[in-house]
Amino acid sequence: PSLKQWSPMTRSLTRSPTRTDGPALEHRRLGLAGPVLLCAALFMAATVLDPPSLRLAGSGMEDRLRGMREDVARAGEGVSNCVDRLRGAFGCLGQELRTKVENLSPTKLKAVDDSVLKARSTAREGDQLLKKRTVNSCTTAARRFKEAAELDPSDPNHLRNAAESLNAVMRIQTNANAICFDGTNDTPVHRRIWRTYGDESERLAAKALAKKPKDPEFLATYTDSFIFSCSHKGLVKQALTGAGSKYQKLAKKLQENPKIDSGVGYALLGCFHQEAPWPLYSMEKAKTNMDLAISKGGPSRRNLYYAGVVAYKREEFDDAAKYFKRAAVAPCGSPKERDFGAWMQSESKRGLSEATRRAELTEKLMKNS
């Protein structure tokens, strides 16, 4: 290539405003380009190949290499420590997994499977007995469910069903300790029944609820068990104690799920305010909760009967008669209601007759006055 392509300086020095070709111009270009290139080469050599600069550059490189070696060494120590920790962690994990695998040996697995299968079979027997809803069948069902719980402790349904079976026994024999318009179910005979089954039912229900604390059905079973366990000590007398406070908390918790047992949370709280001593006694709160039980839980026999009782005790006899009349023909909202459904039907008919009589008497007194 020509010098024009390599050096812009040579192009500016050799450019002529008058002549652009010829032998003389070519000689002049070569004569000027040589010295310029030589000077440039000497300048670059003096700058790049200067011995002090080389020594300084070499010293800097050595410092950098030394620093890099130290960083690598420190990183190596950290990685080594990390590896040691991971090795220890995975060693423990490996030992744990090895133990679990050993526990899952075919012999042990077969024993577990046999227990679970036997528990399920026993629980099915309990289910069939519980559906009959008699004192004898429910008592036997409770035994079956307790046996199933012993065979398979991992299933909380066995515990809950055992408690539910005992609750059914108490409901059937004591009319669920329901409130009455002119009497009480808190009798010595009933207290003996609650004492016999109540504490055991609460213990079973508490263990079941501990395993499924957010299940509303488990909460409903425990609430019934707790009430029955307190009833043999006199539920009304305990209203002002810690038992009364717990009763209210459980009822309010059930109100968060009004579909459970036809709004049982409202029915329970209404009964509490109707029967509790002062200052917890409140006819207005009792009426409000019974109205909510009907509106949110539905017009079941229990809800209508309780509304009739509250209206009767408020001496609103016309309203009481209307509620009792509906309750006498209304269906039960759940198997729990059916446990004392016949008693409620009988009481509703009696309440209808008594409320009608009192309403007529009140009307005559008002006319005479």
Mean pLDDT of all residues in the chain? Answer: 82
Mean pLDDT across 189-204 = 97
Confidence grade of residue 55 (pLDDT, cut at 50, 70, 90): very low
User: At residue 280, does pLDDT exceed 60?
Assistant: yes
Whether 235 shows a pLDDT value over 70: the answer reads no
| Alpha-carbon span 8 to 42, nearest angstrom | 19
Q: What span, in angstroms and rounded, lies between the C-alpha atoms of 264 and 302?
A: 9
Q: pTM of whole model > 0.75? A: no
Share of the chain above pLDDT 90, in %: 61
**Mean pLDDT value of segment 12-30:** 44
Predicted confidence (pLDDT) at residue 34 exceeds the cutoff of 60:
no
b/e map 73-86, b = 16+ CB within 10 Å? eeeeeeeeeeeeee
pLDDT at 49 exceeding the cut of 70: no
Q: Who has greater pLDDT, 44 or 262? A: 262
Q: How many residues does the chain have?
A: 369
Mean pLDDT of 128-149: 97
Alpha carbon distance 250, 303 (integer Å): 18
pLDDT at 48: 46
pLDDT at 267 over 60: yes
